[in-house]
Amino acid sequence: MISQFFVLSQRGDNIVFRDYRGEVAKGSAEIFFRKVKFWKEDGQEEAPPVFNVDGVNYFHVKVVGLLFVATTRVNVSPSLVLELLQRIARVIKDYLGVLSEDSLRKNFVLVYELLDEVIDFGYVQTTSTEVLKSYVFNEPIVVDAARLQPLGPAAIFMQGTKRMPGTAVTKSVVANEPGGRKREEVFVDIIEKISVTFSSSGYILTSEIDGTIQMKSYLSGNPEIRLALNEDLSIGRGGGTVYDYRSSSGSGAVILDDCNFHESVRLDSFDMDRTLSLVPPDGEFPVMNYRMTQEFKPPFRINCLIEEAGQLKAEVIIKVRAEFPSNITANTIAVQMPLPKYTTRASFELEPGAVGQRTDFKEANKKLEWGLKKIVGGSEHTLRAKLTFSQESHANLTKEAGPVSMTFTMPMYNVSRLQVKYLQIAKKSSSYNPYRWVRYVTQANSYVARI
């Protein structure tokens, strides 16, 4: 049960505000934004997703630069409210096509209509785009996506100024194309978030993949879709059926620890030939979520060395080696490393001819930051940093610095080898041939190397 829902811009402007129960003061948005902007408690950089101020619980998620916030005075499940905020953001994006400050302002009548149907007197009614279509009648005002700054998942598939074929990330599921026609197409995204921890000697301590197969359908009449995965796919260590996770030795090339499917997916022939049948609902939805701890080759190797270089000085060397094919490129790489608390200055030295790289020393939280625009497979990059200390180190430097963490995005690459072999759409006529787009992306969830 929530009292208020509001959406704030990065500047703190109130774009959408709905008070459902009148239990929380009207100035809550201003209190929330000031608290988030000047968050200094516990030495954290960012405010946590849930916090309490003067007896009011504030829940928030950040979606493409916008703050989606809910307030309540009662003790509700934080995970429930955070999931609700994510789903509201997804429903609004399904309707508007583009989620941005501009699109929200132009479509505020439609957004308020959606909010009134999704939440009634603080209680959730439905977050299904399919169900909402029969209750919401306002047409969206389409915002030109070309003028928008690429943020969030949509930016994953942008290569410079070129956009990948199709416009699934910026199309409304309810608005027609210019001229009243609707382009028949379906988009499938295999998104994998990987977590790897390396020991100080470079061995892999833990490795895990959290994956999801996302689908967004623009097919009229909702025809049946058959989606085929790897034939050698095994689920559970025994490679048994989808319902049997008990055995302990797997033989398939792709072994998932566990998985779950969307309610619209039928598993009649899944055990025989690894195909999923479904009639896709409107909007974006996860066909399948899966988890995998089978050993895989990590895309990057990180080596880090820190050693004293004279009185009150030390040197850090970080090497990042790309261990994937040269036809694959990783984008927006960011490397961070906490330094000893008594570090006062850091000077950086990049390799000769380095392009698209930036370095920074954050004095407030004593962190070294190294950003790379892109890394081509098979290449190696090195950063040297000379540190100056305000006092002598009385302990081992490796205990006071690190670990090195890394974030990146890799389009058209997946480490689990899970693939969509084919995408069959039930034909209405011999001339019916909708567009099909299948895309892969790998992102770092927690990619850490100990020193």
Structural domain includes residue 164: no
**Structural domain for 11, as ranges:** 4-133
* Interstrand relation of 233-235 and 254-256 (parallel, antiparallel or unpaired): parallel
CA 268 to chain CA mean position, Å: 31
CA 387 to chain CA mean position, Å: 34
From the list 196, 16, 194, 177, the residue with the least C-alpha distance to 97 is 177
Q: Which residues are CB-neighbours of 99 under 8 A, at least 6 positions away?
A: 63, 64, 66, 89, 92, 93
The letter for the amino acid at 341 is K
- Based on the fold, state whether residues 290 and 352 are members of the same structural domain: no
- Based on the fold, state whether residues 439 and 292 are members of the same structural domain: yes
* Number of structural domains found in the chain: 3
Structural domain includes residue 119: yes
- Return the DSSP state at 240: B
Structural domain includes residue 172: no
What pLDDT is attached to residue 176? 60
- Based on the fold, state whether residues 190 and 331 are members of the same structural domain: no
Cβ atoms of residues 289 and 209 within 8 Å: no
Question: How far is residue 329's CA from residue 441's CA, in Å, rounded to a whole number?
Answer: 11
- Based on the fold, state whether residues 76 and 123 are members of the same structural domain: yes
Question: How far is residue 167's CA from residue 176's CA, in Å, rounded to a whole number?
Answer: 13
- Based on the fold, state whether residues 309 and 273 are members of the same structural domain: no
Cβ atoms of residues 8 and 29 within 8 Å: yes
Q: Which residues of 185-220 are buried (b: 16+ CB within 10 A; e: fewer)?
A: bbbbbbbbbbebbbeeeeeeeebbbebebbbbbbbe
What pLDDT is attached to residue 41? 58
Structure tokens at 42: 């516990």
- Based on the fold, state whether residues 332 and 271 are members of the same structural domain: no
Residues of the chain with pLDDT under 50: 150-168, 239-252
- Based on the fold, state whether residues 425 and 320 are members of the same structural domain: no
Q: What is the CATH number of the domain that holds 387?
A: 2.60.40.1170
* Interstrand relation of 50-53 and 14-19 (parallel, antiparallel or unpaired): unpaired
Structural domain includes residue 321: yes
- Based on the fold, state whether residues 365 and 386 are members of the same structural domain: yes
Alpha helices by DSSP H, 319-440: 397-400
- Based on the fold, state whether residues 328 and 350 are members of the same structural domain: yes
Q: Is 24 helix (H, G, I), strand (E, B) or coil?
A: coil
pLDDT tens profile 82-112: 999 999 999 999 899 889 999 999 998 999 9
- Rounded to whole angstroms, what are the CA distances from 21 to 31, 122, 268, 419? 18, 7, 46, 47
Is 328 exposed, middle or buried, given 0-12, 13-18 or 19+ CB atoms closer than 10 A? Answer: middle
Domain finish residue from 69, 102, 133: 133
CA 405 to chain CA mean position, Å: 17
Is 12 exposed, middle or buried, given 0-12, 13-18 or 19+ CB atoms closer than 10 A? Answer: middle
Domain finish residue from 117, 133, 149: 133
Structure tokens at 77: 């499940």
- Based on the fold, state whether residues 35 and 112 are members of the same structural domain: yes
Question: How far is residue 263's CA from residue 278's CA, in Å, rounded to a whole number?
Answer: 9
Domain finish residue from 133, 149, 165: 133
Structural domain includes residue 174: no
Question: How far is residue 124's CA from residue 102's CA, in Å, rounded to a whole number?
Answer: 26
- Based on the fold, state whether residues 399 and 324 are members of the same structural domain: yes
Structure tokens at 54: 């003067």
- Based on the fold, state whether residues 189 and 118 are members of the same structural domain: no
Cβ atoms of residues 341 and 380 within 8 Å: no
Structural domain includes residue 173: no
Structural domain includes residue 157: no
Opening angle at CA 52, ends 445 and 24, nearest 5: 120
Q: Any idea how long the chain is? A: 451
Structural domain includes residue 168: no
Q: At what angle do helices 78-96 and 108-118 cross, to 10 degrees?
A: 140
Q: What is the CATH number of the domain that holds 82?
A: 3.30.450.60
Question: How far is residue 415's CA from residue 34's CA, in Å, rounded to a whole number?
Answer: 41
Cβ atoms of residues 432 and 186 within 8 Å: no
pTM for this predicted structure: 0.75
- Rounded to whole angstroms, what are the CA distances from 150 to 142, 160, 244, 375? 17, 11, 43, 20
